[in-house]
Amino acid sequence: MLYTHATIITVNSSREIILDGAILVQGNLIAAVDKTDALTKLHPTEEVVNLEGRIIIPGLISTHMHTAQTLLRGAADDLELVSWLCERIWVLQGNFTNEDGYAAARISIAEMLLTGTTCFLESMFADRYGFDGLCRAVEESGIRGCLGKIVMDSGKYAGDPKWAMHPGLIENREMSLLGALDMHKKWDKAANDRIRVWFGARTPGGVSDALYKEMTSISKSQGIPITMHCAEVAADRAFFKTLSHTPMSYCDSVGLLGPNTVLVHMVHLDDSDIAKLAETKTHVAHCPTSNSKLASGICRVPELLDSGVNVGLGTDGAPCNNTNDLLQEMKLAGIIHKAKSYDPTLVPAETVMEMATINGAKALGLGASIGSLEVGKKADFVAIDMRYVHLQPYYSPVSAVVYCATGKDVDMVVVDGKVVVKSGKLATMDEEEVWKEGEKRGHEVVMRAGLTEKVKGRWPIR
């Protein structure tokens, strides 16, 4: 298949942008990227898809996502973190069934595909949600998923009893760590290698030192990557201080740091933490919308990047975003650090594009196969339709994508060489069926949790 007449942001090593460009896809790989005239002459009999008026970018990569939480979109708005987590989100998630988990995975994936995300990192899928269902949803939809199965052995957060998990979410070593190993044997590299199974460790205070050390030892011996929330809120840093540690000195002490680890949020870091991240080549997932909405603070992304730390982007879960649209996340990532620093040159659009594509690929250990549009890489790309008044005129294709486009402008999505979104419509899922099932099951979870009178807006409805 030959995709022609598009502006192509390659994110290759030279960061080339090709006007009137074309991509030749053979099987699930990119066979050529060049000017349209050159490739149509070389391949005159190839089936052609005309993408005139579109900008093609590498498939977006979300390095932090909670698929289960999309059923809870808008269920805990404008609450401080303890109430948000302990009185709403954990209570609701503690009432999930396997069927709810599958419906949540499907609606999450549908939204991600429709808005241009072709690969995502699920942070910590609980046993009660049904990990098999998550994997089935990835397999059926055509998306690429790195799926973190939760690892934990304590129901507390930051060692504080007032931050107690709902009993329905608490897992022990056997259910979490050993369950993750079972799922790794069953699903890792399934669906034509679109599925990778990770350890999704709970944040420090929710995992004993012994379990962390066991998990990190297995991670190193079996090559199973790790993702974990860390230093998200001030309470996290205070907890590390009670252990006579900084966030990264503690993580280092239990073996968490290294090139196979993605640490999420990372808001409350000092200079020594940043230096340790750079030294160990540990990756960071930046979630500016979630951090802003929950008033967690702002990650020191400019300093991380200047120190050589690889930083990707994530949307986090729908209750603290409230969307899974990574294009919207890209705009905030490019703006928020300017406002904090009073320096408009920090984190320019090109850096944001890298964070959402090639940096994300590197964080997931997939930099050799996705994240840029180059010969030999997997054919994962997104076509954004620029033929609208809110997108014209533009002078820099990268700037137009980062600062103007949203997921509603996505016209076509290709993952692993297959078209999964065409003309803005899902090709692998029934969108109406997915959202109706998600709506039904979301309301059932709220009712089952006994929160119907609390999960609503502040203004009267009649």
* pLDDT at residue 159 greater than cutoff 70: no
Decide: pTM greater than 0.95. Answer: yes
Return the bridge partners of 32, or none: 24
Measured CA to CA in angstroms, residue 301 lies from 9, 256, 359, 456 at distances of 23, 20, 13, 35
Does 322 sit behind a cis peptide bond, omega within 30 degrees of 0 on the bond before it?
yes
Burial 158-167 (b: 16+ CB within 10 A, else e): beeeebebbe
Positive/negative CA dihedral, 169, 172, 177, 180: negative
Pairing of strands 195-201, 156-157: unpaired
- 410's CB contacts (< 8 A; 6+ apart) are 114, 115, 116, 327, 382, 383, 384, 385, 421, 424
Q: What length does the chain have?
A: 462
Q: What does the pLDDT look like over 326-360, one tens digit per residue?
A: 999 999 999 999 999 999 999 999 999 999 999 99
Q: What pLDDT is attached to residue 81? A: 78
**What mean pLDDT value characterizes the chain?**
97
Contact 32, 24 (CB under 8 A): yes
Q: What does the pLDDT look like over 170-211, one tens digit per residue?
A: 999 999 999 999 999 999 999 999 999 999 999 999 999 999
Return the bridge partners of 283, or none: 262
DSSP 174: I
Measured CA to CA in angstroms, residue 319 lies from 198, 209, 344 at distances of 23, 30, 30
Q: What pLDDT is attached to residue 163? A: 79
Q: What pLDDT is attached to residue 35? A: 98
Cβ atoms within 10 Å, residue 264? 27
Q: What does the pLDDT look like over 61-88, one tens digit per residue?
A: 999 999 999 999 999 999 987 789 989 9
